[in-house]
Every structure is written in structure tokens, then in C-alpha cells.
Structure 1
Amino acid sequence: MTSPDILIIGSGMGGATLAAALAPSGKRIVILERGDWLADCPEARDPWAVFGSGHFSPKETWYDADGGTFTPNNYYYPGGNSKFYGAVLMRYRAEDFQPLRHMGGTAPGWPMSYDEFEPDYQAAEEMYEVRGRMGEDPTEPHHSRPYPFPPVPHEPDMLNLCNRLKALGLHPGPLPLGVDIDLWLKGGPLTFDGFPNTRGGKSDAETIGLAAALKHPNVTLITKAKVTRLIAEAGKITAVEYEQDGATLRISAPLVCLCAGAVKSACLLLASADSSHPTGLANSSDQVGRNFMNHNITAVLGVNPFRRNRSVYEKTIQMNDWYLTGGPKGEPLGNVQMLGRITGEIMAAESGLPLPISRWLADHSVHLMTMSEDLPNPESRVFLRDGKIVLKWQRSNWQAHVALNAKLKAVLKKAGWPLVLTKTFEKRTPSHQCGTARMGADPSTSVVNPFCRSHDLANLFIVDASVLPTSAAANPSLTVAALALRTARHILQAQE
């Protein structure tokens, strides 16, 4: 298909969901995906390959602000990063859509209310077959319908943890997940968090969104297509350049949707600078690449030498007692949820500890994570230096995260895990990247409008986590999918 009506760049949660929502219209859609299909292989269930050697990681280097280098946690396959995600599909709380005061500053809120966005959350939950249950989380916002499926069941040792936390007056409950656990476990007895979805079971952007889109003959996916430049003339994107099999190709469409992820989308706009747009495309506000947010995340292990953890997948509990309060003046602190089951092999790959020590520690601990909001800051940014990606992440709201960790440590000790170990995720690890092409009503302070259309370029939509005005303290996948459904509806209504 050489002359599509709509061109989508990227097939992650934003691009795949957008394609699925637009496909029934009959419009000719082409999706450009940098990677190739993720095939099943022995490494897909090998902890060292996934967490140690970087078998699935891209062969590329990014830079930090000090000149150091690292390999990013970005994956290039149909389905994008969601092929490896922990399948948490959690709504922002209603309060996250309004200005909210934190210990580290005030989150600005969104250019829409939660109630306006709720139908899209509902549609995204149903599309991605989310497992959950209402009524146990005091912060959960209004749902127009119940979760489409019951929650993934707690394993016995996780149920024990849940009951111990409840006995302390807390409100642990089911983590909303896009996982058919029976199907997942047919592929092997291990957690779904971090492992690639090559044998089915996870509701990711490829198995749900892309699969639905490609059922329609008007949708074409082009793999191994690395987009390098957008070309703009007279206020529109007129062509997209990409490399495939050593050749440089061009494709054009009346409508272009950029869905490459918060870092890559911003860098592509910056790399597309020309004489009319010297600071990059869609960047009259000078906000492209700025306001990078990534969450403050810490792994928290509760250790008890006399209690074994016999669970297989583990990641079923969340706790939001401190999501909206808990700070010294009632400020929000963040979300607590389970990590996927950390085995000795995973711990050895991640930490470098000897395998016997890692196995003992992993089998005598429960594995949680704390997640606190990272606030938007124009100086926290991604940019290009000599064509290389530079990530300058300036953490924010750190004292809230310290307070959240302290509360969880105290609770775990009271609940029966006397030794608590923590490890904060590195600054250079863009695991929940967002914010680099922020959404807003004011073109002078934002990159896209509330329907994700560029303020500067009439036929460019940006539909991925880069447009999120705030990070909240929630995994971003469901919010990105809901934004894609909202944007698709707007596109179709505008063209009626």
C-alpha cells in the first residue's frame, strides 16, 4: 500500500490501539514498525537472557547528561515495550486529572477531567481484557462498568501477605492485569513481569491491538522500517523517510500519527529540524523533549528466614493507602504493588550475587515495588547531541518516595518480614517514560492539543506516552491505550 490514508509510526500501545480503533472505518492504514516479529525461542524463558545478557535489548547506545552510556529498556518489535511489560493496566485516580500538591511541588493536572476521559478508560479495559475487582481500593475512581474479567487469583503465599496487611488496617487488593494466567502458565512456570510474551497469555499491544487491526484488509504492517525523518511543508507533514534493508524510502499520507514512545517520538521530531523549523518539528513551544518523567521506583524485598515464598508469578497485589495522602501535610506518596516473582536466577542476573545466595534470598522474601509521581520539569529532558540520544532526567518529588519506602518498610516488618532490603531503579532506566510532547490547550506551553493533534502541524497526531501531562503514580499503559481510543474517535468524527 503505497498511498495510505493514515500512516502510523510505531506499533506499541499507542500505535497498535489507534490502528485497531481506526481499522473498521475502511481507511487505508500503513503501520511502520522498526523491529521484526518477536519469535518464540529458548531465551524467552531464560532469566539470564532476559535480565542478564540483554538478549532482547536493542543494539544501541544512549547517553546520560554526564557523557556516560547505557543500553535503554526500549524494545523494537511489533507490540513494542508491551511485549515485555508486567501487564498492569491501571487507571489514574480521578484526582490525578486536577492540580495536585505533592511534597516536591504541584502536578499541573490535565486539560480534561477524569469524568470526560472515563469512557475511554472503560473501552480500553474491555479491549485489553483487564482482570480486576472493584470495591477494595478506597482511591479507585468511578467505573461505568465492572472489570470485564475477575482478578488473577492470589497464590497462597500472596494471599497470606494480603491478609497480614489487612490485619494492620490497610487495603491491599487485586492489581488490574491484562493476563490470562492459565494460558500464560502453559508456556512455563514463571512470572509474566519482564518476560517476553511469545507463547500467549499477556494482553499486549501486539496480541490485542495489532491483531485486531490486521484482521482488516485495509491495514498493512511494514516491519524492519526505521523511521529517520519527518518532512514538513506549509504546516503539514508531507512525507516520512525510513530505512529498510539498507534502502532509504519515503511514504506519504494525508494523516500521520507518531507513536514511537516518549523518547523516540521526541527525538524524531528534533531530528527532523529544517530551515523553517530550526528547533525541530511541532516545537514552536520549545517543549519537545522537555518535561521527561519516569516515576521514582524502588524494589522492596521483605525477608523472613523462616518463611518460604512458593509462588510462581506473584504480581497480583496493589495497595493505594498512601496514593493520595501519607505525607507530613497529607501529601500523596504513591502506589505499592508486587513485582513479578523474583527467582534466584533473576536476582543473580540483576545483582551479580552468587546463585546459591540469590536463590536463598529470593525464596525467603516477598517482592514489592513502590512508585511515586515524577513531576514535569522543562529541564528534565531528552535531546540530541551529534545525532546521539541524550537523556537528562532530573528526579523530582524524591522526599515523597523516601517517605513511601519508609512506610512500606515499617508495615512489612510488622507483618512478619523483619529484614527489608531496597534497591531504587537507576536514573538511566526509562521504564515508564512519558511527558516529552505534553498535551495542553495552550500552544505556547504544550506540543499537542487535548485530542493529541500537533498545535503546529495540522495533519500530525502524537499518540503515545510522550503526550501525558503528568506521570501520576500509575503504570501508563492503560492511559496510553485510552488516549489512542479517544484520538481515533476524534479523527473519525472530524473526517465525517
Structure 2
Amino acid sequence: MVANSAVSIAVINRMTIQTLRKIFMTEPHYDAIIIGSGAGGSACAFNLIQGGKRVLMLEKGDFLPKDGSTLAVDQVFGSSRFKNKQPWLDSQNKELTPGEFYNVGGKTKWYGAALLRFSPHEFNADPDYDCLGWPINYAELEPFYQQAEQLLAVKPFAHEKQLTGLIARIVKPSSGWRAEHLPLGLKTEILDHPDEAKHFDGFASPGGFKADAEFNLLTPLLENPAFQLLTGKEVTSLIAKAERPTYIQGVLCADGSRYQADHIILAAGAMTSPRILQNYLQQSGLAKILPSAPCVGANFKLHLNSALLAFSPFKQHDMLRKTALFFNEKFPHSTVQCLGWMDGELLATQLPGFVPRFIANILGQRAYGFFVTTEDSSSPDNRIIVGSEASLPPKLDYLPRRTPASAAEHKAVLSAFKARLMSAGFLSFSKAMDLTATAHALGSLATGSDSAKSVVDARGKVHGMDNIHVSDGSILPRSSRVNPGLTIYAWGLRLGRHL
């Protein structure tokens, strides 16, 4: 993904823009420029290339190392070597550092391999829960769900012995709970590589055992002369055609390089794409003209998530673990999924420093992890905001209390699942994910039919603009109750087909 550094964005004066326009006359020309190499951007590029287009992808980060360091607990979770270091502000103007990743493949390198479709009803508005609706229905996205599943080789895995027994105790008749196999983007060969199998959830696979945007989509494209991927390219500005501010003819990068194309596709993620667009609308004056401008950055979502650790008197030996997903119709906006391998080394990174390592080892050997997810409803006050001055960091203004129905259901589902674990012989403890946990950042450029209430139309183009499109999680008007990755891939494939 490509991020705007707050200090790198400044108003470009008229002389600079005119100079850039002249330079563009001698620059290579592409059919499309895609800003960001995550799920949506890579998927869009894949179908654009299939359609014979010439595509340039600009990525702020670089390729991840293949030396095994992305499987090292101390580097991934201890020192957070690979995470974003750029500071932001929260709603109280206190500094925080979101857990973003700037590398080829974006967050798809680090996700937990869960690739689920949204349910058909989750494309509809839910006024009682303050959920926005999509401008398309499930049927329109279904062919691209299917294509994404094929490209990513999505499949279920058999539950291991101890998890099978635990599931049976959780989903007893009259419990209200049911379990399904979790669709995973993993190669079956991962089971022959214990170090990879124990470190796919939250880690990047150097061996390519986990499906991601780089291995499954970009690597094949790199062999095509019509596709070019440039790393170390932080896009700082959009450059409009002379006397036509609604037509973007190119982009300017932090290193001074510039590129032009017929279509500009924002795919830098829900925390970066809105800032790129906000800056341009403010600089061009369109922020005062376009009906959709106030919606840019609004309705930000990231799910209400809690990590739950359940401890048994007995050692847990399952290796893959993350193969089950739990539902309860009492909590229609929530799910619980298993997490991957847990041991003392991993647990120690989440415990206070004074806890002895042997205690962490004892607990880690007996722990099973779960991730409790609740759809957060829409609030226009939950939003991404560009720093009001060049010297100020961007702001993530998000408060769960603005979506009270979501907060209430999350509290209830967490309590109910803990009770089921207790009845199964597991004592559990939970921790709510804070604003630094932005793995599921969504919704800040929501798609919709009404240009006064959304930013992107049903075909992915920004309302009121001629040739800017969005192909990342920021378009999702609803976060749903499951991981958004597959839906972002599907949207990108659909946009690439339309363009």
C-alpha cells in the first residue's frame, strides 16, 4: 500500500502544476496507474492485464525478505520490524501508531489466510443496526468471488483431533452455536512444514504456502511486458488536466517522479486512499463543489474485535488450528473463529514483561486462541482526517460508542462464547483490539448510488470525477461479520473487468 506522509503533502502552486503537465508530454503513458499492491489493487491489475491493458503499479514499500525473518516471533510481534512507524492522532489528539504494512502484497502477506464470502443479506442496508447498503447485490459480485477463490486456491482443512473434540462440546444441541469449516488460502503442503504451519496467522510466508496478492496475482503478471511494478514509490499528489479538475492525468511521487495514465486507481487501503483523495479535492477546490466530498474519509470501520485465549488443564498439540468458524443466530452480526498456533514464545509477546518465561511456556502449551468479530455499523463521525497543516499527522477519529448496537452485540457474544468454553472445560480471558489493530480497516470511501451519501459509484468510479476509481477495502459500505479479504479481491477483479 502507498501512504501519504503528512509532511510530504503540500499545496502545489499553479506554476508547478503547469510544469508537470509539460513534463507529462514526454513521460510513458499507461492505460491505468494503480496506487498500492494489496488485495484490491493486485486483483484489479490482474483482470486489466487479462483485458490487454497496459498497467503501472506504484507501491510505497518493497518486497519482503525471503530469509525466514517474517516467521520470527521476535521480529514480527516483538520489535514489530515490518509494521508502519508513522504516527497518527486519535479522536483525543493522542498519538498512536496503526498496525499498517507497506510492502508488496500489502496486508495480504500478513493476514490469517481466512477468505470468506459476505452473505447475500449483507449487501442490503440494515437500518436497525445502522448499516449502509451496497449499490450492487450479491449476484453481481458472485462471479468474481468464484474467480478469486480459484486464483487463491481457497479450500477448507480438516479439523485436528483436539479441535474436533472441543467443537463437539461447544456446539451441543440447544447451545445455539454451530461450526463451519473456515475457507483458507493455504496450500495443503504447509502441513509438511511445521514452522510455516505454526506461523501463517499474522506472519508472512517466505515459502509461498499462504495465498496472497504477491504470490498468486503479481508474480504471474511480472512476466507480462504490459505490467510494471515500481517499489519505493509513495504517491503524494494527483495531477489534473489543464482547466479540467475532474480529470486526473497523472500522479506525483515523493521522489519527484511522475506518471500518467487514462485511469487512476486508488488501492492504497482505507487509511491512505481517502487521504490522497482528500488532499486533491482540497487543493483543487472540488471539496466545495462535489456532493460526495464530505463523505471522503467518513464511515470508517475496522470491526469490533477481541482476542480470546482459552486455557485447558491439558497440553494442546494441534498444529494448524485455524480451521473452524462459529455462528450463533442470537448474534447475527458476529462470528468467532479459531486462531493459529499458540505457544509460550507467542504468548510472551502479549504478557507484561515481568511474567517469567517459564510461566508463559506453561500457559502457552495449554492455550487455544479465538478471534471474536462483530460488524461495526456506520457512523459518518468515524472517519479518516488529513492533518489540517502539513506538520500535523493524520487523524483516526473512531469511537465504538458512536455505534452502540455494535458495541452491545460484541459484549454479548463475547460473554456467551466464554460461557460455552467454560462448559467445555476451558477458562478464558479476552482482550479488545484497540485502534492500532487496523487489519480490517474499511469503509472510508464507501460505494453507493447517492453521491451525497457515498464516494464511489457501483462501478468503482469516484462520484463527480471522470477517471478516478477505487479498488480497496475503503469502498465497503458494510464490514459484515467475517474477514473482508475475499470481498476486496472480488471487487478489484470486477473493477478490472469493467475497465
TM-score by length of 2: 0.88
User: Which SS does the other structure have where 1:286 is aligned?
Assistant: helix
Aligned to 1:380: 382
Aligned to 2:369: 367
| 1:280, distance to aligned residue in structure 2 (A) | 8.8
Aligned to 2:166: 161
Aligned positions, number: 458
Determine the C-alpha separation between the residues in 1 that align with 2:484 and 2:131: 16
1:313 matched to 2:303? The reply is: no
Which residue among 95, 110, 113 is the counterpart of 2:134? 110
Determine the C-alpha separation between the residues in 1 that align with 2:195 and 2:208: 11
Structure 1's unaligned 5+ residue stretches are 132-150, 492-496
Determine the C-alpha separation between the residues in 1 that align with 2:362 and 2:39: 37
Determine the C-alpha separation between the residues in 1 that align with 2:69 and 2:61: 18
Determine the C-alpha separation between the residues in 1 that align with 2:186 and 2:91: 37
Residue identity over aligned pairs, in percent, reads 32
Which residue among 31, 34, 58 is the counterpart of 1:32? 58
Determine the C-alpha separation between the residues in 1 that align with 2:464 and 2:238: 14
User: Which SS does the other structure have where 1:252 is aligned?
Assistant: strand
Determine the C-alpha separation between the residues in 1 that align with 2:288 and 2:207: 41
Query: Is the CA contact 1:65–1:390 (under 8 Å) kept in the aligned structure 2?
Result: yes
Do the aligned partners of residues 227 and 457 (structure 1) sit closer, same or farther apart at CA in structure 2, a change above 3 Å counting? same
Letter paired with 2:250: A
Give CA-to-partner distance per residue, 1:385-427, whole Å, 9 cap, x none.
224211011212100000110110111111221x111111113
| 1:284, distance to aligned residue in structure 2 (A) | 3.7
Aligned to 1:348: 348
Aligned to 2:330: 326
Do the aligned partners of residues 25 and 55 (structure 1) sit closer, same or farther apart at CA in structure 2, a change above 3 Å counting? same
1:406 matched to 2:431? The reply is: no
Question: Higher mean Cα deviation, 479-488 or 226-235?
Answer: 226-235
TM-score by length of 1: 0.88
Determine the C-alpha separation between the residues in 2 that align with 1:271 and 1:163: 53
User: Which SS does the other structure have where 1:311 is aligned?
Assistant: coil
Aligned to 2:434: 426
Alignment of 1:55-454 (within 5 A): 55-100=81-126, 105-131=129-155, 151-168=156-173, 170-183=177-190, 186=193, 188=195, 190-233=198-241, 234=244, 235-243=246-254, 247-277=255-285, 279=287, 284-305=292-313, 307-320=314-327, 322=328, 325-326=329-330, 332-352=332-352, 353-385=355-387, 386-387=389-390, 388-395=393-400, 396=403, 397-417=406-426, 419-454=427-462
Do the aligned partners of residues 19 and 277 (structure 1) sit closer, same or farther apart at CA in structure 2, a change above 3 Å counting? same
| 1:109, distance to aligned residue in structure 2 (A) | 2.0
Give CA-to-partner distance per residue, 1:98-147, whole Å, 9 cap, x none.
12355xx331221122222222211211121101xxxxxxxxxxxxxxxx
User: Which SS does the other structure have where 1:27 is aligned?
Assistant: coil
Letter paired with 1:318: L
Query: Is the CA contact 1:37–1:77 (under 8 Å) kept in the aligned structure 2?
Result: yes
RMSD: 1.9
Determine the C-alpha separation between the residues in 1 that align with 2:298 and 2:47: 29
| 1:206, distance to aligned residue in structure 2 (A) | 0.6
Determine the C-alpha separation between the residues in 2 that align with 1:49 and 1:283: 45
| 1:296, distance to aligned residue in structure 2 (A) | 0.5
User: Which SS does the other structure have where 1:367 is aligned?
Assistant: strand
Letter paired with 2:163: M
Letter paired with 2:189: D
Determine the C-alpha separation between the residues in 1 that align with 2:283 and 2:97: 32
| 1:94, distance to aligned residue in structure 2 (A) | 1.3
Query: Is the CA contact 1:191–1:314 (under 8 Å) kept in the aligned structure 2?
Result: no
| 1:282, distance to aligned residue in structure 2 (A) | 7.1
Query: Is the CA contact 2:292–2:454 (under 8 Å) kept in the aligned structure 1?
Result: no
Aligned to 2:9: none
| 1:187, distance to aligned residue in structure 2 (A) | 7.0
Give CA-to-partner distance per residue, 1:67-95, whole Å, 9 cap, x none.
22222211111100111000110111111
Which residue among 1, 24, 31 is the counterpart of 1:5? 31
| 1:201, distance to aligned residue in structure 2 (A) | 0.4
Do the aligned partners of residues 447 and 98 (structure 1) sit closer, same or farther apart at CA in structure 2, a change above 3 Å counting? same
| 1:283, distance to aligned residue in structure 2 (A) | 6.9
Moved over 3 A (4+): 166-170, 273-276, 278-285
More helix by share: 2
| 1:184, distance to aligned residue in structure 2 (A) | 6.7
Determine the C-alpha separation between the residues in 1 that align with 2:318 and 2:290: 48
